[in-house]
């Protein structure tokens, strides 16, 4: 067993390597150091890598691998246009090399070379940069804009460690197996491909990654060591789960999900030209299912957004509804209940039941709780607005006003206390604009913005299950959803059933299906057309919502870039 006293792994919060394992094998020990890089924090990221390196040294790893653009974080976006940025990247890598001379390191960084900028992997050996691999395939779709910044590399780069020849690749390079085979055709015998990645999470992505990594291993008949980033960065969460595939394409071992880790494995050539992988650590626990994945992504995304932006505390409105209840539970898990403040802001339209449920939820979670009735403000606005002809105290403007008063209260408390306001809108209502701009959308971070309403319900059940008790009161889950902005209001007055709505939205938003394709698939024509119209009309509102965590294949935000001014009706067939 490792010496626990001065164990650098333990100090760094990284899993240590049991010497029992690698004493038995120990041909080539490869460490994949997935860590939570902070965008722009070059010195801090280097310090994090040095810490992992110490653990790796203690584990006798021969080569230590860090993720894509580990030095500057991913994605650095237009920081790449700043005068000193690539120069600072290089200085940081050179210093890291000097600090870590004993082993071979692979480190992602943003590189200026002969007047162009590259997404590069530096090979650090003997205290200096010995080689640089430059990413060839630059993704420029979905959330990716790499051709805005980078020129493509063109040459393979191989490193030899303990007699094993290792080819370097960066993220998307490995997703096109045929291209990769052609690219490495003349590279000679390769024992392992290392891939450094910054692959953002969405539900189900891990299966795709495993498939392409296995396919590349089989195609090149070698081990693939895949080192992914971990952590939240604005809209994106990187889920880690670095892994090794052996030359048969089998995924042999995976690192932790949604957490830092150093995954060490023993790689060696076996019989018949095979290359095998042997884990030298106990297996890291993996998410049980997709709900577990989503929950962990939301917790990490919220924690990192707050932490990396200097917020210790968060603040949110608690309505006694499902969205704010789930958001509050995630916030408490992310930051500790003591750092969450819930505020209920009832009007005369809020029932005793929902107000009571918001308080019960706060008590169950153990978060600070305040009640600020909004009637006095509502009355004073109503009186003032009556001065303008046409003001209607029973109309939609009056409903929205209530949400805006609540937004004012939360933002005021945020300004006063320095806490970050979390908004509580889900993907379904964000899609159709069932929200008040500058009202319930007012805040700094939108935790469940990419979570469809039907999944919000599943998350509530999941949270109660893992808590071992009804943290979220059962009535919150069973009560028909309502914005409570007028007497007896129900979501179902304005929206189709959430089951149906979410099916239409999945097709239209996430899969870019046209109205006629959705109708042909059996969805009701009138509802499809109504929903699509709402989605299209509300692009302006979504633009003005805070960022939130991407958990689906296509989130609102930089994943889906539609013009606000847009008269396209989705296709000639339905015109």
Burial class (CB in 10 A: 0-12, 13-18, 19+), 571: exposed
Q: Which is nearer to its own copies, 289 or 573 (CB)?
A: 573
**Which of 61, 345 has the CB closer to its own copies?**
345
Pick between residue 1 and residue 387 the one whose CB is nearest to its own copies.
387
Nearer to its own copies by C-beta: 250 or 554?
Answer: 554
Q: Note whether 566 binds its own copies by CB under 8 A.
A: yes
Burial of 114 (0-12, 13-18, 19+ CB in 10 A): exposed
Alpha helices in 233-308 (DSSP H): 290-308
Is 478 a binding residue for its own copies by CB under 8 A? The answer is: no
- 68 is an active site residue: yes
Contact 199, 220 (CB under 8 A): no
Q: Report in angstroms how near the CB of residue 538 gets to its own copies at its nearest.
A: 12
- Quickly list DSSP for 409-468: HHHHHHHHH-PEEEE---HHHHHHT-S-TTTTT-SSEETTTTS-HHHHHHHHHHHHHHHT
The reply to whether 111 belongs to the active site is no
- What are the strands of the beta sheet with 223-228, ordered from one edge? 158-161, 164-170, 192-197, 223-228, 243-245, 251-254
Q: Contact between 562 and its own copies (CB under 8 A)? A: yes
Interacting positions 376-435 with its own copies (CB under 8 A): 376-377, 379-381, 383-385, 387-388, 390-392, 395-398, 400-401, 404-405, 407-409, 411-413, 415-417
The CA-to-CA distance between both ends of the chain, in Å, stands at 70
The catalytically annotated residue of 171, 222, 227, 545 is 171
Q: Which helix (H) or strand (E) holds 504?
A: helix 498-505
Give the shortest CB-141-to-its own copies separation in angstroms: 6
Helix (H) / strand (E) containing 498 = helix 498-505
Catalytic residue among 68, 111, 260, 429: 68
Q: Which stretch binds its own copies (CB under 8 A): 212-220, 259-267, 288-296, 437-445?
A: 437-445
Q: Smallest distance from the beta carbon of 64 to its own copies, in angstroms?
A: 24
Residue 82 touching its own copies (CB under 8 A): yes
Write down the least CB distance from residue 103 to its own copies, Å: 26
SS3 state of residue 251? strand
Nearest-approach distance from CB 549 to its own copies, in angstroms: 12
Site string for its own copies, 254-293 (x = CB under 8 A): ----------------------------------------
Considering only residues 19, 26, 41, 553, which one is a binding residue for its own copies as defined by CB under 8 A? Answer: 41
Q: Minimal distance in Å, beta carbon 336 to its own copies?
A: 20
Q: CB–CB of 417/543 below 8 Å? A: no
> Residue 494 interacts with its own copies (CB under 8 A)?
no
**Count of residues of this chain found to bind its own copies when the rule CB under 8 A is applied:** 98
489 binds its own copies (CB under 8 A): no
For residue 214, state whether it binds its own copies (rule: CB under 8 A). Answer: no
Q: CA-to-CA distance for 81 and 348, rounded, in angstroms? A: 53
Q: How many CB atoms lie within 10 A of CB 1?
A: 8
The burial of 415, by beta-carbon neighbours within 10 Å (0-12 exposed, 13-18 middle, 19 or more buried), is given as exposed
534 forms part of the interface with its own copies (CB under 8 A)? no
Q: Which is nearer to its own copies, 287 or 373 (CB)?
A: 373
- Residue closer to its own copies (CB basis): 15 or 404: 404
Question: Cβ-count burial of 486 within 10 angstroms (0-12 exposed, 13-18 middle, 19+ buried)?
Answer: middle
Per CB under 8 A, does 521 bind its own copies?
A: no
Tell me which stretch binds its own copies (CB under 8 A): 16-24, 32-40, 209-217, 239-247: 32-40
Q: Near its own copies by CB under 8 A, which window of 6-14, 55-63, 76-84, 100-108?
A: 76-84
442 is a site residue for its own copies (CB under 8 A): yes
DSSP per-residue string spanning 118-144 = EEEEEEEETTEEEEEEE------STT-
Please pick, from the candidates 79, 157, 203, 466, the single residue that binds its own copies as defined by CB under 8 A. 79
The set of residues, in sequence order, having a beta carbon less than 8 Å from that of 465 and lying 6+ positions away, is none
What is the token pair recorded at 111?
């590189």
Please give the residues from 303 up to 332 whose contact with its own copies meets the rule CB under 8 A: 304-305, 308-309
Helix (H) or strand (E) holding 367: none
Q: Is 47 in the site for its own copies (CB under 8 A)?
A: no
Q: Which stretch binds its own copies (CB under 8 A): 28-36, 78-86, 261-269, 486-494?
A: 78-86
User: Of these residues, 51, 72, 103, 135, which one is catalytic?
Assistant: 135
Q: Which stretch binds its own copies (CB under 8 A): 140-148, 274-282, 283-291, 460-468?
A: 140-148
Strand partners, 108: 121
**Near its own copies in 495-514, by CB under 8 A:** 512-514
572 binds its own copies per the rule CB under 8 A: yes
Q: Of 459, 490, 488, which is closest to residue 472 (Cα–Cα)?
A: 459
Integer angstrom CA distances of residue 373 from 9, 46, 301: 51, 49, 31
Q: Of 81-89, 209-217, 261-269, 277-285, which segment contacts its own copies by CB under 8 A?
A: 81-89
Active site residues: 68, 135, 171
């Amino acid at each position: 067993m490792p010496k626990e006293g001065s164990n650098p792994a333990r100090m760094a919060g990284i899993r240590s390597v049991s010497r029992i394992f690698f004493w038995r094998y120990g041909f080539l020990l490869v460490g994949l150091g997935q860590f939570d890089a902070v965008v722009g924090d070059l010195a801090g990221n280097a310090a994090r890598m040095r810490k992992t390196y110490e653990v790796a040294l203690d584990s006798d790893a021969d080569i230590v691998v860090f993720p894509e653009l580990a030095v500057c974080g991913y994605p650095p976006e237009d920081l790449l246009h700043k005068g000193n940025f690539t120069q600072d990247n290089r200085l940081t890598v050179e210093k890291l090399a000097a600090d870590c001379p004993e082993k071979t390191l692979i480190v992602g960084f943003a590189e200026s070379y002969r007047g162009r900028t590259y997404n590069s992997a530096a090979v650090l050996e003997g205290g200096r940069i010995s080689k640089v691999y430059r990413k060839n395939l630059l993704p420029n779709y979905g959330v990716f804009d790499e051709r805005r910044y980078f020129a493509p590399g063109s040459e393979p780069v191989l490193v030899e460690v303990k007699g094993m020849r290792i080819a370097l690749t960066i993220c998307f390079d490995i997703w096109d197996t045929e291209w990769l085979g052609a690219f490495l055709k003349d590279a000679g015998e390769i024992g392992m491909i290392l891939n450094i990645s910054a692959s953002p999470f969405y539900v189900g992505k891990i299966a795709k990654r495993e498939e392409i990594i296995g396919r590349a291993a089989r195609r090149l008949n070698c081990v693939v060591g895949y080192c992914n980033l971990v952590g939240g960065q604005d809209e994106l969460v990187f889920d880690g789960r670095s892994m090794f595939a052996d030359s048969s394409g089998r995924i042999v071992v995976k690192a932790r999900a949604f957490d830092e880790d150093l995954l060490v494995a023993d790689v060696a050539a076996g019989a018949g030209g095979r290359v095998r992988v042997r884990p030298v650590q106990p297996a890291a626990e993996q998410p049980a299912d997709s709900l577990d994945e989503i929950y962990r992504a939301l917790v990490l995304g919220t924690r990192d957004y707050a932490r990396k932006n200097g917020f210790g505390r968060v603040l949110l409105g608690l309505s006694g509804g499902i969205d704010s209840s789930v958001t509050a539970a995630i916030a408490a898990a992310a930051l500790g209940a003591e750092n969450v403040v819930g505020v209920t802001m009832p009007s005369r339209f809020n029932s005793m039941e929902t107000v009571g449920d918001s308080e019960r939820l706060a008590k169950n979670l153990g978060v600070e709780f305040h009640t600020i009735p909004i009637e006095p403000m509502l009355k004073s606005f109503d009186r003032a607005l009556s001065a303008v002809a046409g003001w209607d105290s029973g109309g939609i403007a009056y409903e929205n006003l209530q949400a805006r008063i609540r937004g004012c209260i939360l933002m005021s408390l945020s300004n006063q206390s320095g806490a970050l306001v979390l908004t509580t809108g889900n993907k379904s209502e964000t899609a159709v604009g069932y929200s008040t701009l500058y009202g319930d959308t007012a805040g700094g971070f939108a935790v469940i913005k990419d979570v469809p309403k039907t999944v919000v319900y599943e998350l509530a059940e999941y949270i109660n299950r893992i808590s071992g008790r009804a943290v979220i009161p059962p009535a919150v889950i069973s009560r028909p959803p309502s914005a409570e902005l007028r007497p007896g209001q129900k979501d179902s007055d304005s929206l189709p059933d959430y089951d149906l709505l979410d099916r239409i939205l999945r097709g239209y938003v996430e899969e870019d299906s046209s109205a006629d394709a959705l109708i042909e698939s059996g969805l009701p024509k009138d509802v499809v057309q109504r929903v699509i119209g709402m989605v299209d009309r509300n692009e302006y509102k979504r633009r003005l919502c805070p960022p939130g965590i991407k958990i689906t294949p296509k989130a609102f935000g930089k994943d889906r870039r539609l013009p606000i001014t847009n008269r396209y009706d989705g296709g000639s067939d339905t015109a």
